[in-house]
Every structure is written in structure tokens, then in C-alpha cells.
Amino acid sequence: MRRKFRSHRTGKAKGRSRNDTRSNVMEKETITVVGLGSMGIGMAQSLLRAGHKVHGVDTDPARVDAFARDGGLATPFMEAVAESDIVVLVVLNAQQVEAVLFGEGGRAEVMRKGAVIVSCATVPPAFTREMAERCAALGLLYLDAPISGGAARASRGELSIFASGPQAAFDRACPALDAMAANLFDLGREAGIGSAMKAVNQLLAGVHIAAMGEALAFASSQGLSLERVVEVISQSAGTSWMFENRAPHVVEADYTPHSAVNIWPKDLGIVTAIAGQSGLPLPLTESALAQFRAAVEAGDGQADDAAVVKVYARAAGLELPGGV
């Protein structure tokens, strides 16, 4: 079921104000955001704007200091999670999720009983179910809540969230979800369904980005102006959200990482692994995955994922804006 926010007694439904169903006092929560990268920092700032008390945690002290200058709290990790009723994990992968919750120091064990963990990383569904069970054994709620929308939407509090988990987890996480996202996709009461849906999204997104790179390289081989290609295709049937969002990065030769190449070998690897368990062939996904791996091998792993275009350009000796 697709729902606008406030369908869980909170949200941004048309014609309803933020205060329609909850008082200002009730909506203000103590929240810890773990991971202040390109997505996490925008989510943490959105929580601040909503009036919540927000602890920011990251392995990079500079990110924490920057968040503190915005009005966030730079609190020691254990102290922050022990004080919070909502902990939002915006980390890279399954290994980091497990390390945060059950690594040295036992951070999940110091959380308040009944607190909710909102896990936003792209991870395999089976891993999500395992984490939910381990957290439940400690009296904690676990919301499988992968995110989509990019850094710009994160900074505006306009993400989409693919969420599944106990109703109590939805209800407890409501104030944080309301501040961070425009749309909630309630996928059911079992953890893991949200992660499966995110895998579908990442399959399409990764293939579309690779297709964008292939298309721009092809256009270049035909002597077309890439700027003109972006203008025309963005208004034609061949367009996609990823084309319109990423192709301008190539035209501007700006590969500042909003979403890095390195993300895609992980995410598409999750997709192909899940499919492999069902014996399902994914030839388009496998092809896109190979291009992202080639980009990493060429040294572009930390660049914006639009840099996958360079794989095609190098193979044909094509010149891109700014060079390859």
C-alpha cells in the first residue's frame, strides 16, 4: 500500500497541518542519527528543523562538528543511544548495521526498552529479519526502512521510505519519519519486505544509471552535443529520472559524489544474490553491475555514479566534457 505521510497518524497529507493529530509537545523526540554522510546529514538536519533533539554520530569527527554547528548534538555514541527513543541508522551496509547494534560495547543493549531502530541501509532481506529478531529479544522495536530520493531530497525532508515492521515500530518512529520523508510505503508487518522492495528499486536505478552512461557515450560517438542530448531526451520517451538527474553531471564534468560509484557493486550485488537464490537470471542487472565494477577498478569508485559513463568512453577512446 502506498501512503502519504500522516497516514500513520502523522505525515504530510494534502490539506492537513503538521499539528493536526499530535501536539507540539508530543512530537518532539530525542533522536540519534548514526551516519552523517550525504544522506544522513540531510535527514538529521530535517529532524532538527522539525524541532527534535538530535544527536549526530559518525566515524568522521569533522561531520559531527559540522552538524553541531547546525544545532545538533555531538554526544558520545553510547550516551546518545541510551538517551534516545528513536535511533536512525544511515550506514553503508549490513556489516555496519550489525557493528553499530551488536559490536563492541553492545550499543543495542544500552537502548531503552521499547525504543525503535529505524534501519535505512540497503541490506539483504534475510539479514534484516535476523536483526529484527535480535533486537526484539532485547525489547527493542526494529523498522526495516530503506530510503530513496537522493541527497537533495534528504536535505529537504522529502525522501520516500520503503518500510515494514511491527505496527508498534511504525507508531513509535512516526515523529522521525514525518520529518525525514514525504511518502511512506507501508509494506506490511514483517521486517525484510522493505529491504526486498528497495532491492527492486536499486535494480532499476542501477540499470538506468548504466544506461544513461551508455547512451551519452553513444551520443558522443555520433558527434552529438551532450548538452543538446540531455535537453532533447529529457523531453522524450527515452528519459528516466536517473537520466535527468545524472546526465547533467556528465555535461558539467562535475563528478562530486552525491551517490558514489562504490554503492552500486554492493547494491546490485545484493540484487543478484537474492535472485540467485531463486534461480532467476538478471542479465541487464549483471551487465550494469559489470560496468560499475569496471569503474571502481579504473579508480572512479569515490566519484559520483554518473562517472560510469567513463567506462564506455575509455573503451571507445571518446572524449567527454572535462576528459576521462
Decide if domain 196-316 falls under CATH 3.30.1740.10. no
Residue type, 298: A
Work out the mean pLDDT of the chain and round it to a whole number: 92
Per-residue model confidence (pLDDT) at position 105: 76
Binned at pLDDT 50, 70 and 90, residue 323 comes out as confident
Q: Using one digit for the tens of pLDDT, what is the confidence trace for 125-134?
A: 999 999 999 9
Residue with grid cell 493536526, as numbered in its chain: 20
Picking from 216, 213, 218, the residue whose alpha carbon sits closest to that of residue 292 is 213
Per-residue model confidence (pLDDT) at position 26: 47
Binned at pLDDT 50, 70 and 90, residue 27 comes out as low
Helices (H), 181-234: 193-221, 226-233
Sort strands 181-186 and 2-4 into parallel, antiparallel or unpaired. Answer: antiparallel
Phi (first) and psi of residue 240, to 5 degrees: -155, 165
Q: State mean pLDDT over 23-39.
A: 81
Residue type, 157: G
Judged against a pLDDT cut of 60, whether residue 84 lies above it is answered with yes
Q: Using one digit for the tens of pLDDT, what is the confidence trace for 206-257?
A: 999 999 999 999 999 999 999 999 999 999 999 999 999 999 999 999 999 9
For the annotated catalytic residues, the residue numbers are 198
Separation of alpha carbons 96 and 140, rounded Å:
18
Judged against a pLDDT cut of 80, whether residue 5 lies above it is answered with no
Percent of the chain with pLDDT over 70: 92
CATH (residue range 2-190): 3.40.50.720
Question: What residues have CB less than 8 Å from 199, skipping those under 6 apart?
Answer: 122, 125, 267, 270, 271, 274
Q: Using one digit for the tens of pLDDT, what is the confidence trace for 40-59?
A: 999 999 999 999 999 999 99
Per-residue model confidence (pLDDT) at position 18: 33
Q: Using one digit for the tens of pLDDT, what is the confidence trace for 86-106?
A: 999 999 999 999 999 999 877
Separation of alpha carbons 198 and 15, rounded Å:
29
Judged against a pLDDT cut of 70, whether residue 157 lies above it is answered with yes
How long a stretch of residues is the chain?
324
Judged against a pLDDT cut of 50, whether residue 22 lies above it is answered with no
Domain residue ranges in the chain: 2-190, 196-316
The beta strands (E) that lie in the chain are given as 2-4, 30-34, 53-57, 86-89, 116-119, 141-144, 147-148, 159-163, 181-186
Q: What is the 3-state secondary structure (H, E, C) of 235-258?
A: CCCCCCHHHHHHHHHHHCCCCCCC
Per-residue model confidence (pLDDT) at position 324: 83
Per-residue model confidence (pLDDT) at position 104: 85
Judged against a pLDDT cut of 70, whether residue 1 lies above it is answered with no
Binned at pLDDT 50, 70 and 90, residue 310 comes out as very high
